[in-house]
Chains A and B, each alone.
Chain A
Amino acid sequence: EDQVTQSPEALRLQEGESSSLNCSYTVSGLRGLFWYRQDPGKGPEFLFTLYSAGEEKEKERLKATLTKKESFLHITAPKPEDSATYLCAVQDLTTGNQFYFGTGTSLTVIP
Protein backbone atom coordinates (compact mmCIF):
# COMPACT_ATOMS: atom_id res chain seq x y z
CA GLU A 1 0.00 0.00 0.00
CA ASP A 2 1.32 3.42 -0.96
CA GLN A 3 2.19 5.59 2.03
CA VAL A 4 3.57 9.06 2.57
CA THR A 5 4.78 10.26 5.99
CA GLN A 6 5.94 13.80 6.68
CA SER A 7 7.93 15.03 9.67
CA PRO A 8 7.92 17.04 11.77
CA GLU A 9 4.21 17.89 11.99
CA ALA A 10 5.07 21.44 13.00
CA LEU A 11 8.27 23.48 12.97
CA ARG A 12 9.01 26.91 14.40
CA LEU A 13 12.12 28.69 13.17
CA GLN A 14 13.70 32.04 13.83
CA GLU A 15 14.14 34.14 10.74
CA GLY A 16 17.43 33.07 9.14
CA GLU A 17 17.53 29.69 10.91
CA SER A 18 17.89 27.00 8.22
CA SER A 19 16.26 23.59 8.55
CA SER A 20 14.86 20.63 6.61
CA LEU A 21 11.47 18.97 6.25
CA ASN A 22 11.24 15.24 5.62
CA CYS A 23 8.93 13.18 3.42
CA SER A 24 9.34 9.41 3.53
CA TYR A 25 7.38 7.30 1.09
CA THR A 26 6.52 3.74 0.15
CA VAL A 27 5.39 3.04 -3.40
CA SER A 28 5.72 0.06 -5.70
CA GLY A 29 7.21 2.32 -8.36
CA LEU A 30 7.71 6.07 -8.24
CA ARG A 31 6.39 8.10 -11.14
CA GLY A 32 7.01 11.41 -9.40
CA LEU A 33 7.31 13.11 -6.00
CA PHE A 34 5.72 16.52 -5.63
CA TRP A 35 6.10 19.32 -3.10
CA TYR A 36 3.33 21.84 -2.59
CA ARG A 37 2.92 24.89 -0.38
CA GLN A 38 -0.46 25.60 1.21
CA ASP A 39 -1.40 28.89 2.85
CA PRO A 40 -4.36 29.07 5.26
CA GLY A 41 -7.70 29.09 3.45
CA LYS A 42 -6.12 28.40 0.06
CA GLY A 43 -5.45 25.45 -2.20
CA PRO A 44 -2.03 23.83 -2.49
CA GLU A 45 0.41 25.60 -4.78
CA PHE A 46 3.00 23.62 -6.72
CA LEU A 47 6.67 23.95 -5.82
CA PHE A 48 8.70 21.04 -7.27
CA THR A 49 8.53 17.69 -8.99
CA LEU A 50 11.30 15.11 -8.53
CA TYR A 51 11.43 11.96 -10.64
CA SER A 52 14.50 9.92 -9.70
CA ALA A 53 16.90 9.35 -6.82
CA GLY A 54 19.68 11.91 -6.72
CA GLU A 55 17.65 14.63 -8.36
CA GLU A 56 17.65 18.11 -6.80
CA LYS A 57 15.65 21.26 -7.56
CA GLU A 58 15.93 24.78 -6.17
CA LYS A 59 13.70 27.82 -6.00
CA GLU A 60 14.76 30.87 -4.03
CA ARG A 61 15.33 29.70 -0.43
CA LEU A 62 13.95 26.19 -1.06
CA LYS A 63 15.82 23.12 -2.26
CA ALA A 64 14.22 19.70 -2.72
CA THR A 65 16.19 16.45 -2.86
CA LEU A 66 15.17 12.85 -3.48
CA THR A 67 16.46 9.42 -2.46
CA LYS A 68 14.88 6.02 -3.03
CA LYS A 69 12.96 6.23 0.26
CA GLU A 70 12.59 9.90 1.14
CA SER A 71 12.68 13.48 0.06
CA PHE A 72 13.90 16.55 1.92
CA LEU A 73 12.81 20.14 1.54
CA HIS A 74 15.68 22.31 2.74
CA ILE A 75 14.86 25.87 3.73
CA THR A 76 17.85 28.20 3.82
CA ALA A 77 17.69 31.45 5.80
CA PRO A 78 13.87 31.44 5.93
CA LYS A 79 11.78 34.60 6.09
CA PRO A 80 8.36 35.09 7.74
CA GLU A 81 6.69 34.88 4.33
CA ASP A 82 7.87 31.27 4.09
CA SER A 83 5.40 30.40 6.85
CA ALA A 84 2.92 27.88 5.41
CA THR A 85 2.09 24.18 5.40
CA TYR A 86 4.29 22.15 3.07
CA LEU A 87 2.75 19.06 1.51
CA CYS A 88 4.47 16.11 -0.11
CA ALA A 89 2.72 13.81 -2.59
CA VAL A 90 3.77 10.77 -4.60
CA GLN A 91 2.45 9.35 -7.81
CA ASP A 92 2.69 5.59 -8.25
CA LEU A 93 3.67 4.09 -11.61
CA THR A 94 0.91 1.49 -11.33
CA THR A 95 -1.86 3.95 -10.37
CA GLY A 96 -0.81 6.96 -12.37
CA ASN A 97 -4.08 8.82 -11.96
CA GLN A 98 -3.82 8.93 -8.17
CA PHE A 99 -1.62 11.10 -5.99
CA TYR A 100 -0.98 10.11 -2.36
CA PHE A 101 -0.48 13.04 -0.01
CA GLY A 102 1.23 13.31 3.35
CA THR A 103 -0.34 15.24 6.23
CA GLY A 104 2.05 18.14 5.83
CA THR A 105 4.51 20.12 7.91
CA SER A 106 3.28 23.42 9.32
CA LEU A 107 6.18 25.89 9.24
CA THR A 108 6.20 29.11 11.23
CA VAL A 109 9.07 31.56 10.77
CA ILE A 110 9.35 34.10 13.57
CA PRO A 111 10.79 37.56 12.79
Chain B
Amino acid sequence: NAGVTQTPKFQVLKTGQSMTLQCAQDMNHEYMSWYRQDPGMGLRLIHYSVGAGITDQGEVPNGYNVSRSTTEDFPLRLLSAAPSQTSVYFCASRPRRRTNEKLFFGSGTQLSVL
Protein backbone atom coordinates (compact mmCIF):
# COMPACT_ATOMS: atom_id res chain seq x y z
CA ASN B 1 0.00 0.00 0.00
CA ALA B 2 1.20 3.50 -0.84
CA GLY B 3 -0.89 5.06 1.96
CA VAL B 4 -1.59 8.79 1.48
CA THR B 5 0.07 10.33 -1.58
CA GLN B 6 0.39 14.08 -2.07
CA THR B 7 1.54 15.94 -5.17
CA PRO B 8 3.39 18.13 -5.84
CA LYS B 9 6.09 18.07 -3.16
CA PHE B 10 7.03 21.71 -3.76
CA GLN B 11 5.25 24.58 -5.51
CA VAL B 12 5.92 28.27 -6.03
CA LEU B 13 3.04 30.53 -7.07
CA LYS B 14 2.61 34.19 -7.80
CA THR B 15 -0.08 36.13 -5.97
CA GLY B 16 -3.43 35.65 -7.70
CA GLN B 17 -2.58 32.37 -9.39
CA SER B 18 -4.71 29.30 -8.83
CA MET B 19 -3.66 25.71 -8.32
CA THR B 20 -4.79 22.34 -7.03
CA LEU B 21 -2.97 20.25 -4.46
CA GLN B 22 -3.61 16.58 -5.04
CA CYS B 23 -4.23 13.94 -2.37
CA ALA B 24 -4.97 10.26 -2.93
CA GLN B 25 -5.23 7.34 -0.51
CA ASP B 26 -5.46 3.61 -1.21
CA MET B 27 -6.69 2.44 2.21
CA ASN B 28 -10.42 2.85 1.46
CA HIS B 29 -10.70 5.49 4.19
CA GLU B 30 -13.95 7.38 4.27
CA TYR B 31 -12.57 10.38 6.16
CA MET B 32 -10.05 12.69 4.48
CA SER B 33 -8.81 16.08 5.55
CA TRP B 34 -6.42 18.92 4.76
CA TYR B 35 -4.20 20.69 7.31
CA ARG B 36 -1.73 23.52 7.05
CA GLN B 37 1.36 23.74 9.23
CA ASP B 38 2.97 27.09 9.98
CA PRO B 39 5.96 27.91 12.23
CA GLY B 40 4.88 28.46 15.83
CA MET B 41 1.39 27.14 15.18
CA GLY B 42 -0.03 23.67 15.41
CA LEU B 43 -1.50 21.86 12.45
CA ARG B 44 -4.76 23.60 11.58
CA LEU B 45 -7.70 21.95 9.83
CA ILE B 46 -8.75 23.54 6.55
CA HIS B 47 -11.47 21.24 5.19
CA TYR B 48 -12.53 17.66 5.70
CA SER B 49 -14.76 15.04 4.12
CA VAL B 50 -16.52 12.04 5.66
CA GLY B 51 -17.28 10.42 2.31
CA ALA B 52 -17.77 10.97 -1.40
CA GLY B 53 -19.97 13.99 -2.02
CA ILE B 54 -19.70 15.27 1.58
CA THR B 55 -17.35 18.06 2.66
CA ASP B 56 -17.23 20.48 5.56
CA GLN B 57 -15.16 23.41 6.76
CA GLY B 58 -12.50 23.24 9.42
CA GLU B 59 -10.80 25.96 11.41
CA VAL B 60 -9.23 27.96 8.54
CA PRO B 61 -11.26 27.38 5.33
CA ASN B 62 -11.10 30.84 3.72
CA GLY B 63 -9.37 30.92 0.34
CA TYR B 64 -9.62 27.16 -0.18
CA ASN B 65 -12.11 24.91 -1.96
CA VAL B 66 -12.52 21.15 -1.86
CA SER B 67 -14.65 18.49 -3.48
CA ARG B 68 -14.84 14.71 -3.04
CA SER B 69 -16.06 12.83 -6.08
CA THR B 70 -14.39 9.51 -5.18
CA THR B 71 -13.37 7.75 -1.97
CA GLU B 72 -9.71 7.83 -3.03
CA ASP B 73 -9.17 11.49 -3.96
CA PHE B 74 -9.55 14.76 -2.08
CA PRO B 75 -8.02 17.72 -3.95
CA LEU B 76 -7.50 21.14 -2.36
CA ARG B 77 -7.94 24.17 -4.60
CA LEU B 78 -6.47 27.61 -4.08
CA LEU B 79 -8.62 29.95 -6.14
CA SER B 80 -6.45 33.10 -5.94
CA ALA B 81 -3.24 32.50 -4.03
CA ALA B 82 -2.11 35.01 -1.40
CA PRO B 83 1.22 35.28 0.45
CA SER B 84 -0.65 34.33 3.66
CA GLN B 85 -1.19 30.90 2.12
CA THR B 86 2.53 30.17 2.13
CA SER B 87 2.68 27.06 4.28
CA VAL B 88 3.21 23.31 4.34
CA TYR B 89 0.02 21.43 3.54
CA PHE B 90 -0.75 17.93 4.75
CA CYS B 91 -3.49 15.58 3.69
CA ALA B 92 -4.65 13.01 6.25
CA SER B 93 -7.14 10.16 6.24
CA ARG B 94 -8.69 7.63 8.59
CA PRO B 95 -11.55 5.12 8.63
CA ARG B 96 -14.84 6.83 9.38
CA ARG B 97 -16.54 4.09 11.29
CA ARG B 98 -14.26 4.55 14.31
CA THR B 99 -14.13 8.26 14.96
CA ASN B 100 -11.24 7.99 17.43
CA GLU B 101 -9.05 6.21 14.93
CA LYS B 102 -5.64 7.70 14.25
CA LEU B 103 -4.91 9.87 11.23
CA PHE B 104 -2.60 8.72 8.44
CA PHE B 105 -0.67 11.63 6.93
CA GLY B 106 0.87 12.25 3.53
CA SER B 107 4.39 13.63 3.16
CA GLY B 108 3.25 17.21 2.58
CA THR B 109 3.32 19.94 -0.06
CA GLN B 110 5.51 22.97 0.60
CA LEU B 111 3.84 25.99 -1.02
CA SER B 112 5.37 29.44 -1.43
CA VAL B 113 3.26 32.35 -2.70
CA LEU B 114 5.28 35.34 -3.86
Q: Is the interface of A mostly helix, strand, loop or mixed?
A: strand
Task: Say yes or no: B58 contacts A46, CB within 8 Å.
Answer: no
Measured CB to CB, the closest approach of chain B to A75, in angstroms, equals: 20
B 9-65 contacts with A by CB, 8 A: 31, 35, 40-45, 48, 50, 56, 58-59
Q: How far is the CA of A104 from the CA of B41 in the complex (A)?
A: 9
A 65-111 contacts with B by CB, 8 A: 87, 89, 91, 96-104
Instruction: Indicate with 1 or 0, residue by residue over A20-42, a CB within 8 angstroms of chain B CB atoms.
Output: 00000000000110101000011
Task: Say yes or no: A46 contacts B42, CB within 8 Å.
Answer: no
Interface size class, chain B: 20 to 34
Whether, in the assembled complex, B102 has its beta carbon less than 8 Å from a beta carbon of chain A, the answer is: yes
Task: Say yes or no: A4 contacts B42, CB within 8 Å.
Answer: yes
Q: Which residues of A contact B104 (CB under 8 A)?
A: 46
Residues of B at under 8 Å CB distance from A?
Answer: 4, 31, 35, 40-45, 48, 50, 56, 58-59, 90, 92, 99-100, 102-108
